[in-house]
Amino acid sequence: MTEEKRVVGVRFRRAGRVYYFDPGGIKLEVNDRVVVETEHGLKIGKVAIAPKQVIASQLTEPLKPVLRKGSPEDLQREDQARHSEQAALSKCQELAQKYQLPVKLLDAESNLDNSYITIFFSAEGRVDFRQLVRELAASLKTRVELHQVGPRDKTKLMGGIGKCGCPLCCATFLTEFNPLSIKIAKEQNLSLEPAKISGVCGRLLCCLGYERDLYRAMKEKLPPVGQQVVTPLGEGNVTATNPLKETVTVAMESQVTVEFPAADVRRKEPTAGVGDRKSAPKPSKH
């Protein structure tokens, strides 16, 4: 019999990763604030996935417990932790300038009792910040971790407005980054000019992956470029397709190029040549 465990999904940041915890006997609903035990001490988060049963073998790590629902006192301690984070960032910036470290500080994250704080930063290459960490920890009287992030995570932490005029997807609802390649832009017949298909982070736009499967499915219904087709105006060769409009552009035998609805175009069946004719059956030998 397959063993199941009851879990609850908790998120600590907006659009952040969801972590699973053991809800125990606590009745929880989505958006409830909860205090949980983590490897860096107690933290307060928000329920993103209501308690549910999952197959135990799907869990990669032992579940840590939900200790309680967040009380007014817990929320007050969380506000105090936010102030401590800003103070830590200011002190870290001061020390980075002191040691002339080429880093850009992005954000800080503290646990509930301010005994452990993580500072996120970006840099062009590797940075030796060991002396900075020692002095910062001594100044703040807490354990400190500096965590370097890449261009995508940097943009996620900073936020901003995308080319579409809306807040960045990564900062509002994307919890993880899926791998993207230039092939996706080619499949959608987009310009390959970097400035047009790159996001604020300088990497390929995350939204290129949203319609990838739809484009592939729609393109399969259309004849490929170079295919000979029959249209209401005669025969020709496909020069372009538009999956969204469901149209096919055809170069006619008259050298005129016409765009047709896909429903009005059919692939030309190859005609059998002389070499394709079946040879007459040989007489049987007796």
Rounded distance between C-alpha atoms, residue 22 and residue 121, angstroms = 32
Mean pLDDT value of segment 121-134: 91
148-170: b (≥16 Cβ within 10 Å) or e: bbeebbbbbbeeeebeeeeebbb
Looking at residue 33, what is its pLDDT?
Answer: 96
Looking at residue 57, what is its pLDDT?
Answer: 73
Tokens of 124: 């062009």
Mean pLDDT value of segment 143-170: 93
R_g of the chain, CA atoms, integer Å: 30
Half-sphere CA count of 183, side-chain side, radius 13 A: 5
pTM, full prediction: 0.76
CB atoms within 10 A of CB 34: 21
Looking at residue 281, what is its pLDDT?
Answer: 54
Whether 2 shows a pLDDT value over 80: the answer reads no
Report pLDDT digits (tens) over 3-54. Answer: 788 899 999 998 899 999 999 889 999 999 999 999 889 999 999 999 998 8
Rounded distance between C-alpha atoms, residue 208 and residue 148, angstroms = 26
Report pLDDT digits (tens) over 79-102. Answer: 999 999 999 999 999 999 999 999
* Sheet hosting strand 18-21, strand order edge to edge: 18-21, 4-11, 41-55, 33-38, 66-69
Looking at residue 1, what is its pLDDT?
Answer: 60
Query: Of 176, 125, 121, 166, whose CA–CA distance to 146 is shortest?
Result: 121
C-alpha 172 chain-centroid distance: 11
Report pLDDT digits (tens) over 164-219. Answer: 999 999 999 998 898 899 999 988 888 899 999 999 999 999 999 988 888 888 88
* All structural domains of the chain: 4-69 (no CATH), 76-149 (3.30.300), 154-209 (no CATH), 222-267 (2.30.30)
Looking at residue 285, what is its pLDDT?
Answer: 52
Rounded distance between C-alpha atoms, residue 166 and residue 171, angstroms = 11
Looking at residue 282, what is its pLDDT?
Answer: 55
**Of 146-150, 178-182, 273-277, minimum mean pLDDT range:** 273-277
Whether 272 shows a pLDDT value over 80: the answer reads no
Tokens of 200: 């604020």
Question: How many residues in total does the chain contain?
Answer: 286
Mean pLDDT value of segment 133-150: 94
